[in-house]
Amino acid sequence: MSISKEVAKIQAELHAYPCNLIVVTKTRSIKELQDVHACGIRDFGENRVQEMVDKQAQLPNDIKWHQIGHLQTNKVKYIAPFIHLIHSVDSFSLLKEINKQAEKHNRVIPCLLQIYIAQEDTKFGLDKQEAIDILQNPELVNLANIQLVGLMGMATFTENTSQIQKEFKQLKALFDLFKSEEIGLDSQRVVWQEISMGMSGDYLLAAQEGSTMVRVGSAIFGPRA
């Protein structure tokens, strides 16, 4: 499949929505990613820290790297110098470590809270109360080198479109609730801007349900080998 044609097709479909395309780079070659870059795409999403670090060193400096996979605290230091956005914050301890490593590089690293919306045990994420507990944690005000900018969620891996739509609506409703009630805003560490939801099989539905970022890989490159 033609990478440039697939990118153009997806961008055309997303044009009607305030939704940014993040190209998922997991297992993809440097050549494939150079082809994506040549299409004008600058937002790349990677699941694995080591793979991101290796690719970041070989690709142009204008790429904005997104950590979209589960992130262990002991791996934060490797991406702290350059990461654009961490989508997968699922604990306050992880947030503290991101802040610690960001401070070493005199950076403020934007983060999303990952919310558990799927009907699958294999997915990571917070429930509503756990997210509120992070947002209202009195220690949050001291984390001057992070900023929470929204929520991320992964829908159930299913062909049941109504279930996926329900899960997207659930995440959007939680985002709207947090934003309208200004939960966490008193800390100066929170600004409600982004909803990261939608992947190769459901990105258009996600955009229609209010996603501001979709994470797309196989719809551009084809199935993984």
pTM: 0.96
- For residues 42 and 14, is the Cβ–Cβ distance under 8 A? no
Select from 24, 22, 4, 21 the least CA-distant residue to 13: 21
- When pLDDT is averaged across residues 74-80 and rounded to a whole number, the result is 98
Give the pLDDT score at 181: 87
- When pLDDT is averaged across residues 172-190 and rounded to a whole number, the result is 87
Task: Out of 3.30.300.30, 3.10.580.10, 2.60.40.1080, 3.20.20.10, select the CATH number for domain 3-221.
Answer: 3.20.20.10
CA distance 19 to 207: 6
Please write the tens of the pLDDT for every residue from 6-44.
Answer: 999 999 999 999 999 999 999 999 999 999 999 999 999
Task: Count CB-CB contacts under 10 A for residue 133.
Answer: 12
Give the pLDDT score at 8: 97
- When pLDDT is averaged across residues 77-97 and rounded to a whole number, the result is 98
Contact partners, residue 29, CB within 8 Å, separation at least 6: none
- When pLDDT is averaged across residues 70-99 and rounded to a whole number, the result is 98
Please write the tens of the pLDDT for every residue from 144-154.
Answer: 999 999 999 99
- Residue 120: pLDDT band (50, 70, 90) is confident
Give the pLDDT score at 137: 94
CA distance 207 to 151: 14
Instruction: Name the residue ranges covered by the structural domains of the chain.
Output: 3-221
Burial of 62 per CB tally in 10 Å (0-12, 13-18, 19+): exposed
